[in-house]
Amino acid sequence: MATQTSDLLAAAAPLTVDVVRGVADDQLDLPTPCRDYVVRDLLNHLFEVVVNFQALAVKRQVQWAEKPDHLGDGWRDRFAVETDRLVAAWSEPSTLEGVSPGMGMPQTVVGGMALLDLTVHGWDLAVATGQPYEPAPEAVAELHGLVERLGPTARRMGVFAEPTQVPTAGPADLAHLLSRTGRTPTWSR
């Protein structure tokens, strides 16, 4: 990635942490733009991403099949702590070298995937729970190339849906990025 991954994560993480902190307990069963996920499911997924991508930064394999419930007592504060650990894990320059043994992709791509999840799922949670969200512009700009690169495989694997149409979106804005992941940028519950 052109800008250091840790710098982009450091810019994006607090914005998503703020959204997570703003999720009320009575909003956990609300729908989200992510098909098949309510807010609770998406929070658990994002928690799992934040924890597992710490291990991926140091080239350890992770288990995605385990689906623990991370939303016990103090989960908002724990999410903030784990997100700080994610940023710190990717700040070591060697994290970007080589290929991830767990993912089989260049480490630069793996770090970008963590950034993509923080940014896009930050938006997903914000719109699902009626919160404002303005992503880090430098992250959005960087993620367009990653989504272009991952798009065909991600669609085949069911991670992205087919791109949606956004007639008013510019090529480098959030709406365009969301549409390329198969989201409808005007989604509302």
**pLDDT tens readout for residues 154-175:** 888 878 888 887 766 555 588 8
User: What is the pLDDT, as a whole number, of residue 2?
Assistant: 42
Give me 61's structure tokens.
């394999």
For residues 133 and 15, is the Cβ–Cβ distance under 8 A?
yes
**Contacts from 89-92 at CB under 8 Å and sequence distance 24+?**
89/53, 89/54, 89/57, 89/58, 90/5, 90/6, 90/9, 90/53, 90/57, 90/114, 91/6, 91/10, 92/57, 92/58
User: What is the pLDDT, as a whole number, of residue 109?
Assistant: 93
For the four alpha carbons of 36, 42, 48 and 51, in that order, the dihedral sign comes to positive
pTM: 0.92
Task: List, in sequence order, every residue forming a beta bridge with 31; answer none if it has no partner.
Answer: 38
Q: What is the pLDDT of residues 63-92, one digit of tens each?
A: 877 788 999 999 999 999 999 999 999 999
For residues 40 and 29, is the Cβ–Cβ distance under 8 A?
yes
Secondary-structure percent of the chain, ordered helix, strand, coil, rounded to 5: 55, 0, 40
31 or 187, which is more confident?
A: 31
Of the candidates 99, 143, 88, the residue with the CA atom closest to the CA atom of residue 121: 143
Residue in this structure with the two tokens 């994290």, named with its chain if needed = 95
**Contacts from 68-74 at CB under 8 Å and sequence distance 24+?**
68/44, 69/44, 70/43, 70/44, 71/28, 71/40, 71/43, 71/44, 71/47
